[in-house]
A and B are shown apart, each in its own frame.
Chain A
Amino acid sequence: MSGMRASGRKAEKVNPMIHANWTVTILEAVLVFLILYKIFSARRGKELYIRKIPGLNAIDEAVGRATEMGRPMLFSPGLSGLGLPTLQALAILKHITSAAAKYRTRIIVPTADSVVYTIAEEISKDAYSAQGVPEHFNPEDVRFLSDDQFAYASGVVGILNRENVASNFMFGNFFAESLILAETGHQVGAIQVAGTPQITQIPFFITAADYTIIGDEFYAASAYLSREPTLLGSLVGQDYAKAALILIMAAGIVTATLLAIHPAWAAWLDWLKWLKP
């Protein structure tokens, strides 16, 4: 990824991937156009179809289970600071906290980041206020535990056991502690719904959690749960963008295969070089 220039002076390292080249710029423009086009067409009232995602449907089921059993829920927004995965996790938290406030079910939100803690507290407070029961919000249920990975895991394990939670939600960036949290949730008998963009942790959640949201379903969660036209349009735009990428990859595969079979065609199959970074 880094290029070294040989010269009479000491060679300087230049990383060519920090800035976009023309290929990346055009590709980004195409993808952004597709996403924005579907967002604005959805805002104009166009009906959009979204397939069922069992894991997201299970969220309401899990909230109902905790309400019936009279036991609290736990929502873990992951270990990272305020990035895209955590923003999405907080959007899901708002949906769950609104349901919790509606049914007067307790929800505990341990966080591993101070900024996320402040936002999670505001979200929870607003959700209870929106349901007309601000007095039911307990500020101590939204806590900062630690930004250390295993200190946070220890804290969450302790809460899961002491509070005997009925539903455990894990959304956001998780790492080695994912299996610790998921297995402990299984041991206390909680229904578990998990989603993470960390591909290495998906197998652990699939094994230990009842419902797992894989890959781009995680980023579809806020659209799926809220059914807002803007978010649904963005979801469809994502699919269009993925279709465009698949077409480009297919064209590249066909071209590379033809080049391997017929090297003489290299002259008019040379467009592949434009895809190189």
Chain B
Amino acid sequence: MFTGWLIKPGAPQWLWALGVLGDFLIFGSALFLLLQLVPVRYRKALVVIITFLAGLIYSVEFFVPADPKTGKNFLTGLIEQVADATNVVYAFALGLGIYSLFRFHGRNLARKRSGWHNSSAFFIAFFAMMLAGFWHDLRPSAMSRNTYNMLFDGIVAALGATMFSIVGFFIVSAAYRAFRIRSAEATLMLTAAFIVMLGQVPIGAYITSSLPTAGLGSLFKLENVSYWILNEPNMAAWRAIAFGIEVGALAMALRTWLSLERGSFFEREL
């Protein structure tokens, strides 16, 4: 608000960023002081009211019919602003996460605890990536782009792909333990898994390639049996679980919105 009044259009980007930060500090401090003036016994009620109003905006926006031409109603614009405000809060919370990392790894380094060299690797990687990012953003050049790409694509993305590839090996070890003929259900699961896996690979199609492609015989082709297992009984179970989850989520959302959730958020029921 003050930024718009004090800073003229065309001003450098850093000045606008400074202005926005100043706005936030001024209004944030004013809001904090106002909240301190609220008596202690009314603070929980204030939280309940704010929670209810915040949820009410989303509920009313969903249930009020929208204009058929635009797909929006009178609250849709406000929702978008609330979402932007939430993103801003999240961005500030990221600083707390970085503080947590610095505190933990900084103490590891300072006290030379076991594994302190891993903490030094964290700091080197953190500052290298940060500096490369700022360099590429503020002074883009071929060298800055190559450096950034080398760090991100060459190291970060490659490490992520490495971890993802471990999932394949873990699936084998988990399947070795799980797919045993211990009971009727386990045998059924083993058989279904065997058919579905064969149905996904060319050798599965080759095994039943002698069967006709149309008519009753085609129903027993491995790829068709695999498709049926995935799309009929499996899908039925999937949807049944999804129904339960969504109704449970509805109940929990209701409790949270109406501040009826007792436990982590209030030490007594309201």
Binding site for B on A (CB under 8 A): 12, 14-16, 18-21, 25, 28, 31-32, 35-36, 39, 43, 81, 84, 87-88, 90-91, 93-95, 113-115, 117-119, 123, 139-140, 142-145, 147-151, 153-154, 162, 176-177, 179-180, 182-183, 197, 199, 202, 204, 206-208, 214-216, 218-220, 222, 226, 228, 230-231, 234-235, 237-238, 241-242, 245
Contact = CB atoms under 8 A, between A and B. Distances in A.
B256 interface: yes
Interface in B162-178: 163-164, 166-167, 170-171, 173-175, 177-178
Given A19-B73, A150-B159, A228 B96 contact: no
B243 A245 contact: yes
Contacts of A237: 251
B18 to A, nearest CB: 23
A276 to B, nearest CB: 16
B66 to A, nearest CB: 4
Contacts of A183: 170, 173-174
Interface in B54-88: 61-66, 68-71, 73
9 contacts: A19-B66, A91-B263, A117-B96, A140-B104, A144-B96, A145-B101, A202-B241, A230-B262, A238-B251
Contacts of A93: 264
Contacts of A235: 251
Interface of B: 61-66, 68-71, 73, 89-90, 93-98, 100-101, 103-104, 107, 115, 156, 159-160, 163-164, 166-167, 170-171, 173-175, 177-178, 238, 240-245, 247-256, 260-264, 269
A31 B250 contact: yes
A52 B68 CA distance: 49
Contacts of B115: 162
Contacts of A139: 103
The dominant DSSP class at the A interface is helix
Q: Output the residue of B66, B69, B167, B177 with the most chain A CB within 10 A.
A: B167
A115 B71 contact: no
A183 to B, nearest CB: 4
A140 to B, nearest CB: 5
Contacts of A81: 90
A94 B90 CA distance: 23
Given A16-B71, A35-B250, A180-B166, 11 more contacts: A12-B69, A18-B66, A31-B250, A35-B251, A81-B90, A87-B252, A87-B256, A180-B167, A219-B248, A230-B260, A237-B251
Nearest to B101: A144
Q: Output the residue of B70, B73, B166 with the most chain A CB within 10 A.
A: B166
B59 to A, nearest CB: 9
A241 B264 contact: no
A91 B96 CA distance: 22
Contacts of B261: 87, 91, 222, 230-231
B264 A90 contact: yes
A228 B262 contact: yes
B160 A151 contact: yes
Given A81-B90, A176-B167, A219-B248, A234 B243 contact: no
Given A14-B68, A84-B249, A114-B96, A179 B171 contact: yes
Contacts of A15: 71
A150 B61 CA distance: 36
Given A179-B170, A202-B241, A207 B175 contact: yes
B166 A114 contact: no
A31 B247 contact: yes
A150 B264 contact: no
A88 B164 CA distance: 27
Contact of A197 (B170, B177, B245): B245
A114 B97 contact: yes
A33 to B, nearest CB: 11
Contacts of A94: 263-264
A34 to B, nearest CB: 10
Nearest to A208: B174
A69 B63 CA distance: 54
Contacts of A177: 163, 167
B163 A118 contact: no
